[in-house]
Structure 1
């Protein structure tokens, strides 16, 4: 597989090379925000408030569904009056009990890890909120337990439905008074994603298209993606995962200040060297920093010093800055851009971004 940037401006190729429509799915993000909000309201997620505030919240989910818990945690922020614990596991922690809320998120509603956790939550008497496909095993568990279930109209891969799966959690958080969020906020998020879709549309040429430009930065490198705040760190993790699943491409995720205590050392390693005169130069690291307006002052100093250190050692650098006021808006701009970039990177390598055959094969082997 070779990287050919000219593919990104070939409209016919972009259509033929994306037969399952990942670009269209990313472009539907704004509609997914509006639908996720409407579906959560229709499911009466606000009923959670009638039971009082839980002692803790566990958000169970895997893969493209699991990041919903990370988004909720980051958007609520350090002011949360209770612990919010994203969980990617088969097993509910032993300390979770009847005074806690378990949110189970699964695009298919059939994810075995999430179904296992939801079943355990019901047995322990926890409050359960389910989010996933209608008519699924997860919905059956919620219905049998008289729990709230949000049946979102997921289609295709869960990772392409991130906002359908996430927005109900934000609505739940608002009902529990963990964060301010109303219809106006969700409309602003939707409009910011619409703007991103316009800027990153396939017909927009590479030199003005931020999604294509980022894909060109990432190509033929090993991306090391850092977030400078909890909000930016979730977007960095999402970008790394999207590069893995859409482009089948390796990526390293980090968060400041922690990345300065380990990953920064790679600036002096073998993958930091770029020999422009070599006949067959191997891939070198590229530092991708996702910035946020709500950085800790010391993190700002660390980010600036890290960037200087990288440039002094000729490590390629890309900086991206979140846009918007509310944390959910800022995260949406970074995630939206990353979703487009990972899809364009796949297409530049002539890879269909939708199938994940290795994951499918692994699941089949486990069930045999």
Structure 2
């Protein structure tokens, strides 16, 4: 697999190398925002209004699990209750009847999520399910007389991020944990439509931000930092999308924590570049996702880290979040990253949709 940037402007290649339609799926993000909101309203998630759980636990794996991180970041540090994401088979021992468990699964059949939903019912928790209609997860919810938001997930769960992430935010709005109404979701949808237009396949690399970011990342090992909880979720999402779509290694972190360990990699072997080498080796690239709500000390740490990278000739990419509401800002970073990860795959002539290694692991443990 070799990186050939000219592939990104070859319309025939972009179509033929993406038989699963990951590019169209990413471009459908705006529609997913609107559908996720409409389905949550139709499922009467607002029935949660007037209640106040002790904690919210979001159960999910992979592309569905990040819905919990999105929820926590959107609600923010001012939340009067903890919002925890559980990515495993067991609920923490403290979760009980006064807590709300939101089980999220694109397929509605994720074994870890089903295990957590079943435990939530047994413990008397309030349960909200989000996932495919007529699925095992919906069956658990129906049997427990719990709320369920059916969403029309197609293909990989990671390509349906907003279908799965919007209903928990609507639930949080019903609980008065965050201001999120129809106008907000429409603004986010329009922002994602604008990103899809600028990152469309027919837009050439020199003006296409998705292709440009893919070209930055190619032949490097990305170290992706977020400068706030909102940006950190986008950093996590970008690293995960690089793993799944482009089958590409990446690490992510959040400032200031990343400045206490990951920054040391700027002095490591991948930070060294041999200008006399016959072929370019893969080197470290620092990718910083910036947000307007940075702590002043985080801003100083970010600026110092960027200067440090520059002094060591480590290439740097900076991306700034756009928008006012935390969900708008997060979506602006995630939307661009989703396109970049797909274009990176196509530049390496990799089909971004299949995840054969994941499928093989699941098959081996089921035997």
TM-score band by shorter chain is over 0.9
Aligned to 1:362: 361
Shift of 1:49: 1.7
Aligned to 2:20: 20
Report the Cα distance in structure 2 between the residues aligned to 1:292 and 1:224, rounded to whole angstroms.
17
Aligned to 1:146: 145
Report the Cα distance in structure 2 between the residues aligned to 1:48 and 1:97, rounded to whole angstroms.
17
Report the Cα distance in structure 2 between the residues aligned to 1:4 and 1:281, rounded to whole angstroms.
14
* Alignment of structure 1 residues 42-191 onto 2, 5 Å: 42-50=42-50, 52-191=51-190
Report the Cα distance in structure 1 between the residues aligned to 2:195 and 2:24, rounded to whole angstroms.
13
* Alignment of structure 1 residues 121-270 onto 2, 5 Å: 121-270=120-269
Q: Return 346-355 or 274-283, whichever deviates more.
A: 274-283
3-state SS of 1:181 partner: coil
* Superposed CA offset, 1:120-150 (max 9, x none): 0000000000000001000000000000000
Aligned to 1:8: 8
* Superposed CA offset, 1:275-333 (max 9, x none): 23201332110000000000001000000000000000100000000000000000000
Shift of 1:168: 0.3
Q: Any stretches of 5+ residues in structure 2 without a counterpart?
A: none
Shift of 1:48: 1.2
Report the Cα distance in structure 1 between the residues aligned to 2:278 and 2:43, rounded to whole angstroms.
60
Shift of 1:66: 0.3
Q: Any stretches of 5+ residues in structure 1 without a counterpart?
A: none
RMSD (Å) for aligned C-alpha atoms: 0.5
Report the Cα distance in structure 2 between the residues aligned to 1:287 and 1:335, rounded to whole angstroms.
17
Aligned to 1:311: 310
3-state SS of 1:99 partner: coil
Aligned to 1:38: 38
Give the length in aligned residue pairs.
Answer: 367
Q: TM-score, normalising length from structure 2?
A: 0.99
3-state SS of 1:246 partner: helix
Q: Which runs of 4+ in 1 moved over 6 A?
A: none
* Superposed CA offset, 1:78-97 (max 9, x none): 00000000110100010010
